[in-house]
Structure 1
Amino acid sequence: MESKAAVETVEAIGASVSALAVFVDRAVGSVPLNGDEVPRGSSVPGLDPLRDQADAYLDGLAELARTEARLAALKVQLVAGYARTEKAMTPPAASPQDCMVRDMAVTAEVAGVLTISERAAGNLQVEANILTAGRPLTMAALQAGAISWRHARIMVDETENVDPAGAAELEAHFLDPDAPDPARGCPAGELVPCRFRAKVCTWRERHHPGSIEKRHARSSADRRVEYTPDSDGMAWFSAYLPAAQAVGIWNRTTDAARAMQGPGEARTLTQLRADVTSTWLLTAGRRPKAEGNTGSAIDGITDEFGAVPSPAAQVLVTVPVFSLLGLTEEPAMLDGYGPIPPSMARALVADGAASFLRVLTDPRDGAPLEIGRISYRLTKQMRQWLRLRDAKCTFPACNNHSLDNDADHLLAWARGGPTGISNLGQSCPKHHRLKHNSGWTPAAASTNDPPGWTSPAGRHYRSEQPDWEPPHWPPRIQAMLDHLDPPDEGDPCTPEIHGVTERPVAEVPFGNGHEAA
């Protein structure tokens, strides 16, 4: 079976190479860049030869990406096949020491053939064994060129501590369009790897058999600060912290850095963040020790264990209502991070009310119902909804965080575009400029779905939609619902519990300003 799969992969690679040759011939050999000649091999000149040539280059790149994926699938099959063949040749009576030496020899052989380190060869063997033996949908997608090698490695990483049934369910959610609950929005292969990892991690946390509270408690014990010297008189300073604290520090630092920007400030936002952080840690907020106090206090944070306050910068948290009430233990979602333990979300409610912006979700399908208000300014309310809907810059492959982005009309106000959520999108400053100064145009959006984009070449890139799913119901309430009789059809007084098809639209105020800044 494995040999047959390898042969099929080779045949697919051959087809890809043939198609690639056609695209390269169209692109490189058809018409020179000065446009003086008609396309080679064509009796009818193209209406726009240069446009045809540019499209051929892009088609070639797309086919090359599929070919690279198929080559990666073949490498995985060959590595796994070689390791299994060598294992089959090991005498049954061999001692554990002999088996270990044989495994080391196999790893060294693979490393030598591929000219990589033995550590990298060992990792490749592990990944190849997992993919060929236990991730059939991932292997099939890789062989078809539908996902890249990085996507396949992410699937291996994120299913490492999940039981086989859970791993199969995760695979099906993202790679099987006929699954009972397929992922919404872009197919996996159209997401850049870092965004694919974020979506896989979010889904895994919601379905992980182990309690996120227990796993967070174990990981929290490992919190630490690290220092690593680097070259050119520089060094790395990092901290491993609970997510709410880390995101709050990042947002507060960003707010301070953005406030310092202006015509007379030459430093970039990244440089300002670094300078603000250094200044705060080294000088800001130092106060003399109080009499009888042997500790110190910096900006209101004492050195007593557990005295770190909730973040002062605004933090957006999406909380399933039953989890907020303590009836279930499913994760909440922290803007700029991902899934967090429900106890952390409840602590933000209790301790950081001034900076915590609550988002309740529909207990039927997980979509947002309403967003907490902290201001009467309508444009700010809309901006918070955009943060919830988009989470990042909506441009393809951009991972810029929502706090750094600009709210902008998709259809310009001057051309009749309304100031409503379905006509707004978040773009980082770079892609905001690109929208106004190039042929890149955003596509339509909705209240809950961000816009896709269309390139100057006419290629459409779909948006990365939020992958909402129904929250967990408390067992007692679920038991009550299971024993309810179905409602009578046409009875206007009967609440819709079974077969809900529509969700009430969130009431988000729409402003009438000329710019949603």
Structure 2
Amino acid sequence: MENTDDPAPRLASAAEIVGFVLGDLARNDHEVNRRAALRSERILEVIELARRHPDLYTADADPGFAERAAVMDVALRLQLSEDQVRAMQATAEFAMTLLPNVWERARSGFGSPAAVQDVVSRVRVLQAPIDAPDDVRAEARTAIAAVDEAAAEWVLTCPPAMLRRKVRTLVDRLLGDRTVRRHARAMEDRAVTLTEAGDGMSWLSIYGPTADLHAAYHRLSATAKHMQKAERGDRTRDQLRADLAAAWLKGDGTATAVTTKVFVTVPVQLLAGERPPAEQAEIVGVGPIDPLTAAQIFLDAGSFHRVITDPVKGVIVDMDRRTYRPTRAQRDWLILQHGTCSRDGCTRLALDADIDHDLPWADGGTTDIRRLRPLCPRDHRLRHRTRARYRTRPEERTVQVITPTGFRTSAPAPF
């Protein structure tokens, strides 16, 4: 006979289910952090081995180029940029050496790569110069150790913004009146960066002295305000500032106007008001642009080249051994064909690349357009200074890299 007195099994509440899922998410997050720290340690191990055994990567046992080749090897295998690998290397080296407590949090999974990077980036200013006296160096080590001890606790409980604020406040307190030195170090990092934003647009960012950039921004604003009143057009103040900044930097209307060559392909159908079914106007090596912008660029151009179905026509294809340097026509055609550096996965513009002989000139290579390829300066140096092999795929106009450790890159999948 069935016992009806047993209680029915209790269903888990929504709160319990969500709590379980969140707990599992936290555990997975800790594992991700732990593996990220281990990956950085492995990267450092590879680079250190390359430093100790430079003959693995270079014929002349140059430690500097051996390290560069090792960074490229890591980047290719992990599908990262070399700059990303360098950033991971620098962060891990600093943390493992000077922030052992923070790094231990990362190794145990309780500190994310972003948290470690935040602490490292703010603590660097406490370092003493290499040629500083012993007492200054000891003071710097003590200050960094104080941040390491405090940050190792903050990493456990503070969200990112609070962690950054706490570390910054402590570093400022430890610096005291040494802000001049801090500003001098920050000045060394001033730079201009270009970041593509899609839709034919990009960000141009300037990192520099606050006073200079405030002055530049106020000049842009004042001029934009005056223009807005005068033209009574549809452009907003922000749009005017952006247009003015681009025009001033290009030198429009001045004797020093920019003469940098930018390759833009504009199908003739667009100029006639038609939209071709397959072709789009594009900035070579960057990507498509809208028809209106393409037409305006064409109208503003002082000169242009017409490229038809067989664009090699008119380009000297084969040159004898007396000529080492490619002609301008050859270079322009290679830029149009490749757009970017021809090495698998490299997106640096062919416009800024070196033209490399597939078979080196010193080994009997000729300046034949079929044996030439654009390689960015970084790849060009690695090709000639390391044991990495750069093999051209003639049918795909791409270059495969075979690293000294046997890794082979793959051609990018077609669109």
Same fold (TM over 0.5): no
The bucket for the TM-score relative to the shorter chain is: 0.3 to 0.5
TM-score, scaled relative to structure 1: 0.33
TM-score, scaled relative to structure 2: 0.39
